[in-house]
Structure 1
């Protein structure tokens, strides 16, 4: 059975990838939606490789069995020696521990990144100069991502947010002094390159950390454009509503 270790590991990893990408939306916790086809293809290829490895291993066992029948002294003794040392054609027994991460991904996929990741990362604002932004859509409230809201608040010389009611959705993070933020993680490709965007919320009590909320309010200007005092942007809250975590918890950077 130990010889089938590589096939089992390939099958588990392939099945885990297919579970999160083909049979649900869990893959959005890790990568952008556009990468889904590549995940599905990767999962299928790994499963097919597992089948091929299992078939080849089975064929090799059959050939060795035939050789053992013909030679009563050579091959059986060598095989016994290999097993006594805990390794052989299939590698060391410790390699079976590699199946544990694959099983964990298959049975218990990790959650999306949250407040811990956002707080661990230093605030990094876009390397863009002060300038004008396109006009916002007519009508209030206007739905904005945290990344766009922050860029307009810090860099927009046209002050497109002035007098507008905005609606921001994200999860709750909080400082030690009680200041709280609606926060979202921004990704270019996958969760590994995530950066954070947030807005300080004033005028409402903070829900528990990591709670997903939709905050409706108005931008409260702080500091001069492009300055450290302008970050993070501030929103004077009109309402805070708890919402479920969206299928795609990240914003595209």
Structure 2
């Protein structure tokens, strides 16, 4: 069985990739939606390559059965037993996919700094409440000299994180490519009781201005809540930059 170890590992890794990309939306916990076709192709290629390796190995073993040197060929290419440990990550991804990044990842990141500069943002759509991503709300609150949020009711969805002083935030992680480059956007919620960390909520409320635009004093932005509704985690838990 050990001689088929590399082939089995390829099949396991390929099957794990196919499980999260072709047969579910779990891949959205790790990468953007546009990468799904590449994941499917990669997973299928690994499975096929593993099967091909197993077939070639089996054919080679059959060819040596009667040459009197079977023992030599049967054991000459065995790898170290520790290599079997490489199957554990593949099995973990196949059977127990890791969850999306949450409050722990968000809290590790230091507060954002005013690096993008103050400017005028495009007008918001008509009608209240206007649905915004947490990242867009944060950007407008901190950098928009046109004060487009003033007097508007907004609605945002994110997960709960807690501050050291009893404050709580609705938070989203923003990605450019995959979970490895995630950064944090959040808004402090006032006027509503906090829920447990990592609970997904939809918050409706109005912007509470504070601090000077484009400075650390404006971070994090504040929302005076009108309502907080607990919701299911969306299939795609990340916002795009």
Structure-1-length-normalised TM-score: 0.92
The offset of 1:63, in angstroms, is 2.4
Task: Say which of 146, 150, 153 aligns to 2:141.
Answer: 153
* 1:85 equivalent in structure 2: none
**What is the aligned length?**
241
Structure 1 counterpart SS, 2:67: helix
Listed as ranges, the gaps of 5+ residues in structure 2 are none
Alpha-carbon distance in 1 for matches of 2:105, 2:64: 52
* 2:191 equivalent in structure 1: 203
Asked which structure has the greater CA Rg, the reply is 1
Contact 1:4 1:90 (C-alpha < 8 Å) held by counterparts: no
Alpha-carbon distance in 1 for matches of 2:97, 2:108: 22
The offset of 1:125, in angstroms, is 4.7
* 1:55 equivalent in structure 2: 55
Deviations 1:33-64 (A, max 9, x none): 00000000000100010011101111221223
The offset of 1:176, in angstroms, is 2.0
* 1:2 equivalent in structure 2: 2
Structure-2-length-normalised TM-score: 0.97
Distance 1:126 1:8, change over 3 A: farther
* 2:125 equivalent in structure 1: 137
Alpha-carbon distance in 1 for matches of 2:114, 2:46: 38
Is 1:238 the counterpart of 2:226 in the alignment? yes
Contact 2:30 2:179 (C-alpha < 8 Å) held by counterparts: yes
Note the aligned Cα RMSD (angstroms).
1.3
Task: Say which of 47, 65, 79 aligns to 1:91.
Answer: 79
Listed as ranges, the gaps of 5+ residues in structure 1 are 83-87
* 1:29 equivalent in structure 2: 29
Q: Following superposition of structure 1 onto structure 2, how do residues 189-228 of structure 1 map, counting pairs within 5 Å?
A: 189-228=177-216
* 2:107 equivalent in structure 1: 119
Is 1:187 the counterpart of 2:185 in the alignment? no
Distance 1:128 1:51, change over 3 A: same
Contact 2:167 2:188 (C-alpha < 8 Å) held by counterparts: yes
Alpha-carbon distance in 1 for matches of 2:132, 2:99: 24
The offset of 1:67, in angstroms, is 2.1
Structure 2 counterpart SS, 1:168: strand
* 2:38 equivalent in structure 1: 38
Contact 2:113 2:216 (C-alpha < 8 Å) held by counterparts: no
* 1:170 equivalent in structure 2: 158
Structure 2 counterpart SS, 1:65: coil
Deviations 1:187-217 (A, max 9, x none): 0000011001000000111001100000100
Moved over 4 A (4+): none
Contact 1:223 1:229 (C-alpha < 8 Å) held by counterparts: yes
Deviations 1:4-35 (A, max 9, x none): 00011000000010000011111100100000
